[in-house]
Amino acid sequence: DAKTTQPNSMESNEEEPVHLPCNHSTISGTDYIHWYRQLPSQGPEYVIHGLTSNVNNRMASLAIAEDRKSSTLILHRATLRDAAVYYCILLTSPGAGSYQLTFGKGTKLSVIP
């Protein structure tokens, strides 16, 4: 499986934008880029996913490099509730056999009031 590389930790001030990077230089053409986050003492929560084009939803935006070797999760205005571990995960297209999320260590985001 293609691997991802994320910084261990990042800090952001409350109400500032946050850009969480992810490198995936061995990504294949059928790999989707997924982001999940895990708030303290909770199960992981889906954030967003994309294939080639940038994506927006109510929680965040996903910016994907043109060569797809990296991506950035953007939180437009960090709140204290966004403090969590963010996981960048590659997944082959749905329906292509198994559908296993492989979690790395993720990026621990701290939000400073």
Partner 1 sequence: DADVTQTPRNRITKTGKRIMLECSQTKGHDRMYWYRQDPGLGLRLIYYSFDVKDINKGEISDGYSVSRQAQAKFSLSLESAIPNQTALYFCATSDYGVEQYFGPGTRLTVT
Q: What CA–CA distance (Å, rounded) separates 107 from 17?
A: 16
Beta-bridge mates of residue 90? 33
Only segment of 18-26, 60-68, 69-77, 97-105 that touches partner 1 (CB under 8 A): 97-105
Q: Is the dihedral of CA 98, 100, 102, 106 positive or negative?
A: positive
Only segment of 20-28, 32-40, 66-74, 76-84 that touches partner 1 (CB under 8 A): 32-40
Q: Which of 28, 56, 99, 112 binds partner 1 (CB under 8 A)?
A: 99
Rg (CA), the chain: 14
User: How many residues of this chain bind partner 1 (CB under 8 A)?
Assistant: 22
Q: What CA–CA distance (Å, rounded) separates 22 from 71?
A: 5
Minimum gap (Å) between residue 24 Cβ and partner 1? 15
Q: What CA–CA distance (Å, rounded) separates 79 from 36?
A: 17
Q: Is 53 in the site for partner 1 (CB under 8 A)?
A: no
Q: Is 87 in the site for partner 1 (CB under 8 A)?
A: yes
Rank residues 13 and 56 by Cβ distance to partner 1 and give the closer one. Answer: 56
Q: What CA–CA distance (Å, rounded) separates 22 from 62?
A: 11
Residues engaged in binding partner 1 (CB under 8 A): 32, 34, 36, 41-46, 49, 87, 94-95, 98-106
